Chain A
Amino acid sequence: MEQKNTLTEPVKYDLSFAREIYSLENGYYIKQCMQCGMCAVACSTREIMDYSPRQLFNLIKLGKKEEVLSANTFWYCTSCCTCKARCPRGVPLVDVMHDLKKYAIEQGYDQYPQAAFYKAFWAEVAGRGKVFEGGVTARYYLIRGLDEVKKALAMKDVGMNMLKHKRLPLLPPKKVRGLGDLKKIIHKAQELQRKEARA
């Protein structure tokens, strides 16, 4: 349960990174964190996180970009919402974690498999309007590269079983009606997000 702490050198405070993060959609709320540590306990995956959310917010505050963006914290967030419900300062941690995932990918910090899945899932939804498990899987392994495909083959029995029990459709479902409109909606939403976050 010992959490990772790679900070052996003195931390050099730098606000510019914090400002970048604060400008994300829910980034503003990080400022309110009073370092109580409630989230660290509330989190269901705390044992495998590099940094607890509190530590992560502290790192953001101090300007440790590299540590923050390469941390697994937000990738291990399961969106269970316990932390958000219990945060005494009303920080919507789950939403902040989503923002951080997106930001990390934008910044090229996408080495975690979760990042690949995140991308695959999003591409699937954005491209089809709904999720096709086969599609997500395929995209995931393509992103992860050839080595991962071997791992996928190792799991073929699981896949076969799921197919047999109709938990995994063989063929992709039909795209939603009005996919073009959906794309417009997404486009518009992203535009708004960018505009509002910077404001």
Chain B
Amino acid sequence: MSGLTAAVEAAEVGCEVYIVEKNPYLGGKVTQINQYFPKLCPPNCGLEINFQRIKKNPRIHFFTMAEVEEISGQEGNYEVSVKINPRYVNENCTGCGKCVEACPAERANAFNYGLDKTKAIYLPHEFAFPMKYVIDDQSCQGAGCGKCAEVCEYQAIDLSMQPKNVKLNVGAIIWATGWEPYDATKLSYYGFGRYDNVITNVMMERLAAPNGPTKGKIVRPSDGKEINSVAFIQCAGSRDENHLHCCSSVCCLASLKHATYVREQYPDAKICIYYIDIRARGKYEDFFTKVQEEANITLIKGKAGEVKEDPSTKELVVIAEDQEAQKVREEKFDLVVLATGMAPSTAASKVPADVSYDEDGFLISDSGIYAAGCVKHPLDVASAVRDATATALKAIHSTVRGQQ
């Protein structure tokens, strides 16, 4: 969303813009979100507008399945080497979907965080832009199978496609590679990865999404059963010197939003949120107030310390110190949602240039190579869009300076 915004905003000022995107589609993490807080509106609505803006604007060029390999030069004049990974589906693809019927291989659906499967040739999601299919070469059986190529009437499938390299000359670079959910398996005491019914907040988005693995029905992953109770564990990894040092800013609001998802489907379910501080800053306070009133949630001041599972029922017990009541509580739940925080994408994959990072790996913006959005600070969507808009102007400054 940050990259998309920065690109569109800069292009609408009049700049030539290149978008380099790792995924086979544009839009990033927000495409996987069911609804935004506080309006509970679907991200695809805004994405649709942004894609319209791209479609109408000849100054925007984009590469999907691409990554920046090398950056040389200086502010005003960079040479960027971009590697484009093979999609195995060319521009002939009409999105008709015949190939999917023919494909015999399956893959875990990364878009749904592995909660379901797709064929090896797949459309990343139904709103995917560009609306072209893609082949996962890890699960595709290769040219030996070739069933998809046989059924395609448009010669759109090229199983021998090779990576390509493109060189770009640009005046400024905006690095908006966003964030990754913090790896919840590192929080061993919460049992993610061991207990089926402990999920993360990003998985909750997919569970609640009408185009998700359960068609929007929130159920226990272990047996697909309806739930009677759910616990949200805040700061699962955030505000923690053993994990993410800073606060991820959005998780409180995201969990409050998830509470509304649950409440809508289960009017009587027990919903508890375990927290240290509820960080609903600014006007988001209204959302906090509204959810408290309307969703009938129980807020427990006290970080959850441990989750245990009853192996026979797969029920979970959350143990936490309820500070207002001054006692340690053990509560049973059908589902536990970990509010895992935002790890900057640059914690794992660095910018191929001489740039600096803060202690959590967030990219520090500098003249010429600017950080925008969640790769710079943990931000909610509106703030990230604002930040990206601002960064577009900073990048324009670089091109102005470059001309002088």
Contact = CB atoms under 8 A, between A and B. Distances in A.
A–B proximity contact (CB within 8 A): yes
Nearest to B277: A34
A139 interface: no
Interface in B288-345: 301-306, 319-321, 323, 326-328
B267 to A, nearest CB: 31
Contacts of B305: 37-42, 86
A122 B235 CA distance: 41
Given A37-B321, A54-B321, A88-B240, A46 B276 contact: no
B284 interface: no
Given A3-B326, A41-B304, A90 B241 contact: yes
Given A41-B320, A86-B189, A1 B235 contact: no
Interface string A135-148: 00000000000000
A8 B282 CA distance: 36
Contacts of A85: 242
A88 B320 contact: no
B303 A37 contact: yes
B239 A88 contact: yes
Interface of B: 189, 235, 239-243, 276, 301-306, 319-321, 323, 326-328
B323 A37 contact: yes
14 contacts: A36-B276, A36-B302, A36-B303, A37-B323, A39-B305, A40-B328, A41-B305, A41-B319, A41-B328, A42-B305, A54-B321, A85-B242, A86-B242, A88-B240
Interface in A117-132: none
Interface in A87-101: 87-90
B303 A2 contact: no
A5 interface: yes
Contacts of B239: 34, 36, 88
Closest 8 A/B residue pairs (Cβ): A41-B305, A40-B321, A88-B240, A37-B321, A36-B303, A37-B302, A90-B241, A36-B276
Nearest to A34: B276
A2 B327 contact: yes
Contacts of B235: 36, 88
A16 B265 CA distance: 53
B306 A41 contact: yes
Nearest to B276: A36
A83 to B, nearest CB: 9
B321 A5 contact: no
B256 to A, nearest CB: 19
A55 B326 contact: yes
Interface string A47-88: 100001011000000000000000000000000000001111
A55 B324 CA distance: 11
